[in-house]
Amino acid sequence: MGLVLLALAAGVVQAQAVPPAASTGQPGRVVLMDLDGAIGPASVDYVRRGLKLAAAENARLAVIQIDTPGGLDASMRSIIKHILASPVPVATYVAPNGARAASAGTYILYASHIAAMAPASNLGAATPVAIGMPTPATPAGKPESSGKGPDDAMTAKRLADASAYIRSLAQLRGRNADWGEQAVRESVSLSAQEALQKNVITLIAKDVPDLLKQVNGREVRTAEGNMRLATQNAELLVVEADWRSRLLSVITEPSLALILLMLGVYGLLFEFSNPGFVLPGVVGAICLMLALFGLQMLPVNYAGLGLILLGVAFLIAEAFLPTFGVLGIGGVAAFSIGALLLIDNDVPGFGVPLWLIGLLAVGSALFILVIGGVAARTRRRPPAVGVSTLVGATGELVEFADGEGWAQIQGDYWKVRGAEGLRPGRRIRVTRVQGLALQVAEDIQESPAGA
């Protein structure tokens, strides 16, 4: 009896020693996301959707394969919040060979439960940059802030905030907090081998299957407690970007946002200059709304946006006012400077190429001057609607007596006045308008011979 109890106790202990995730004996699922390019609003939506799918599928692990030059601070922090709150462990994997996790990518790597890199990849250069104006270069060996002036104070605040943030992530995951702070303050970078030696990452893997093989059996702490990873022979579930992520990615491309902004202005200007076309106004309004949606998600300098609108206003005024090119030149200059300042080019992966700015400036000047010129000439023409347009029109006299009668002109019946000799059935021509009556005379050219 004692031997039986002893055997039962040993079986219970052995059963408790088996990790819950591995006890089923069935291969689980691993969700794979591919985060390539600058970190922005589209990246947040993609990662959020991928982690939600991982939780719904009860996945053993969510892998974010990343290759990024950096991106927006707000988007980076949103992604990190989703990772920290995820019930499914997250492994961020810098791959393929030649990839990098610079700037915002370094923070995401530090926040993940598992930090992995391909052999020929790198991370670091996590110094934050100011949004709105280019950050002046700091000479090597000189401190970032000397404590003099508002710019130095703002730089010190940004560095202190970013340093504390990455240090807190490092302490949470048990990684090298000192190097993380150094990456923020000094913009240093590491190769994969150096990162492994300095306890910045968890492991080096040649590909995703190798990563899953190496992390199998590791214990990590998630938002719902400790979990033993069981990724051996796991089924890979690749998350593709949906229409929303693709739309966000397109709209928040700075160059396209600027083009949409100008198309919106062009469309509304054309509609206001030529009321009734409808299509230019509809297209312009849609483009303008999409542009404003994209711009509110980007690091926009509102002084640049104001200069763009001011430049467009100058170009419109040039088309209507005799300024001999002064407003036109000022409009092109204001537009070009505004486009340069519109997007903060210091944020990695975001910026507007100079050739596009030049092309839009020239195109805007030509378009607005041509359309404005046409509109101005149209305004100087005599009215094309109303009774006055009937002068010169011909018709047939229906009835006539004592100098007055009725005639059919352009399909309508009009009261007419004319000489006593006019007779019904004759062709007449309108010579002028007298109130609501038309002064007419016999149309000799169209009257039948001998009538």
235-255, pLDDT tens digit by residue? 999 998 877 777 777 777 777
Taking Cα atoms as reference points, which of 9, 10, 73, 87 lies closest to residue 43?
73
> In angstroms, how far is CA 311 from the centroid of its own chain?
23
**CATH hierarchy code of domain 387-442:** 2.40.50.140
pLDDT tens-place values along the chain, 451 residues long: 443 443 434 443 333 333 444 334 456 899 999 999 888 888 998 999 999 999 999 999 999 999 999 888 888 999 999 999 999 999 999 999 999 999 999 999 999 999 999 999 999 988 876 433 333 333 333 344 444 445 577 778 888 999 999 999 999 999 999 999 999 999 899 999 999 999 999 999 999 999 999 999 999 988 888 899 999 888 999 998 877 777 777 777 777 888 888 888 778 877 776 777 778 888 888 888 888 777 766 666 777 778 888 887 887 777 666 666 677 777 778 878 887 777 655 555 556 777 777 787 777 777 766 766 665 666 566 555 566 677 878 888 888 887 888 888 877 888 888 887 788 888 888 888 887 788 888 877 655 544 4
Beta strands in 112-258 (DSSP E): 114-117, 122-124, 189-191, 203-204, 219-222, 225-228, 235-238
**Domain 27-134+141-243 sits in CATH 1.10.10.10:** no
pLDDT at 337: 81
Q: What is the pTM of this model?
A: 0.63
pLDDT at 245: 74
Domain range summary for the chain, segments of one domain joined by +: 27-134+141-243, 252-380, 387-442
CB 364 within 8 A of CB 315: yes
* DSSP-based three-state secondary structure for 141: coil
pLDDT at 131: 39
- Determine the Cα–Cα distance for residues 67 and 36; give it in Å rounded to an integer: 5
